[in-house]
A and B are shown apart, each in its own frame.
Chain A
Amino acid sequence: MNIPQTLRMVALCTLPFIALIAALKIPVAGLPKAVARLLWLQFVCSIMVCLPVLQQNGTSLHPWPGVVVDPTAALFIMLTTLVTAAITEHTVGYFGREMHAMTPPNPRVVREFYLCTIVVLLCIYGIAIADNLGYLWIAVEASTLASAPLVYSSRSGASLEAAWKYLIICSVGIAFAFFGTALLFAASQHAIIPDGTLSVVGLTRVAPHLPPALLRFGFVFLLLGYGTKAGMFPLQFWQPDAYSQSPAPGGAVLAGALGNGAMLALLRVTGIMLAAGQGQFVRVTLLPMGVLTTCIAALFLVKQKNTGRMLAYSSMENVGLMATAISLGSVGAFCLQAICHSLAKTALFLLSGDASQIYRTSLLDRMRGLIIISPSRALLLLAGIAAVAGTPPFGSFLSEWQILAACVNHNEPVAAGMLLAGITCAFIALAIHICGIAYGDTPPGKTELTDGFSHNWRGVVAPAILLFVVLWLGTLLPGIVIGAFARLTP
Chain B
Amino acid sequence: MNAFDSLLGNLLLITSLWMVGITAISTKLTLYSVQTLAVGSLATLVGVAHHEPALVFAGVGVFVFKGIAAPLYLAHLTQAVGCRKDIGSFIASPLLLLLSAAAVGGLFLFHPFQQSVPPAALPSIGVILAGMILMVSRRLAISQIIGFLVLENGMFFFTVTIPHSLPLLVELGVLLDIMAGTMIAGVLTFQISDSFEHIDILRLGNPRK
Contacts and interface: CB of A to CB of B under 8 A. Distances in A.
| Interface size class, chain B | 35 or more
Contacts of A156: 207
Interface in B103-160: 113, 115-118, 128, 132, 135, 141, 144, 148, 151-152, 155, 158-159
A287 interface: no
Contacts of A148: 184, 188
Nearest to A166: B188
Contact of B141 (A134, A138, A164): A164
B191 A168 contact: no
Contact of B162 (A142, A152, A175, A186): A186
B206 interface: yes
A468 interface: no
B195 interface: yes
Interface stretch (B68-76, B79-87, B93-101, B168-176): B168-176
A171 B113 CA distance: 24
A208 to B, nearest CB: 18
A235 interface: no
A380 B167 CA distance: 49
Interface string A239-278: 0000000000000000000000000000000000000000
B185 interface: yes
A134 B205 contact: no
A137 B196 CA distance: 34
Interface residues of A, number: 39
A175 B153 CA distance: 10
Nearest to A141: B177
Contacts of B159: 182, 185
B113 A217 contact: yes
A8 B151 CA distance: 40
Nearest to A174: B177
Contacts of A167: 181, 184-185, 188
A168 B144 CA distance: 8
A429 B180 CA distance: 40
Sorted from nearest, which 10 A-B pairs have the closest CB atoms?
A157-B207, A134-B170, A217-B116, A138-B173, A213-B116, A161-B204, A141-B177, A213-B115, A186-B162, A179-B155
Interface of A: 66, 132, 134-135, 137-138, 141-142, 144-145, 148, 152, 156-158, 160-161, 163-164, 167-168, 171-172, 175, 178-179, 182-183, 185-186, 189, 194-196, 198, 213-214, 216-217
Given A138-B170, A175-B148, A175-B155, 10 more contacts: A134-B170, A137-B170, A137-B174, A138-B174, A145-B181, A152-B191, A168-B185, A182-B166, A186-B162, A214-B117
Interface of B: 113, 115-118, 128, 132, 135, 141, 144, 148, 151-152, 155, 158-159, 162-164, 166-167, 169-170, 173-174, 176-177, 180-181, 184-185, 188, 191-192, 195-196, 201, 204-207
